[in-house]
Amino acid sequence: MKFKEALEIGKDCGLDTVSEAILNIRMRAINIFDYGEEQSEYNELIEDFLQSEFDLEDNIEDCLKKI
């Protein structure tokens, strides 16, 4: 999963920060991804986030405006 997609899901869920969006995906990975792909999808999300210019406490909407 790409970082932007996690932010969009987080925004749709009414979350505010990047950390909340990432945790939301982690907690629901088993329901979102195909069986056996959960960890690799989460790893892709984390890698994409780490390569971004954003911090965990950044506001989701602010991040989406900059992406």
Q: Indicate the number of domains in the chain.
A: 1
State how far the Cα of 36 lies from the Cα of 7, in Å rounded to an integer. 23
Distance between first and last Cα of the chain:
15
Amino acid 52: pLDDT? 97
Q: What are phi and psi of 17, to 5 degrees?
A: -115, 160
Tell me the residue range of the domain where 59 lies: 3-66
Q: What is the pLDDT of residues 24-64, one digit of tens each?
A: 999 999 999 999 999 999 999 999 999 999 999 999 999 99
Amino acid 40: pLDDT? 98
Per-residue pLDDT band at 19 (split at 50, 70, 90): very high
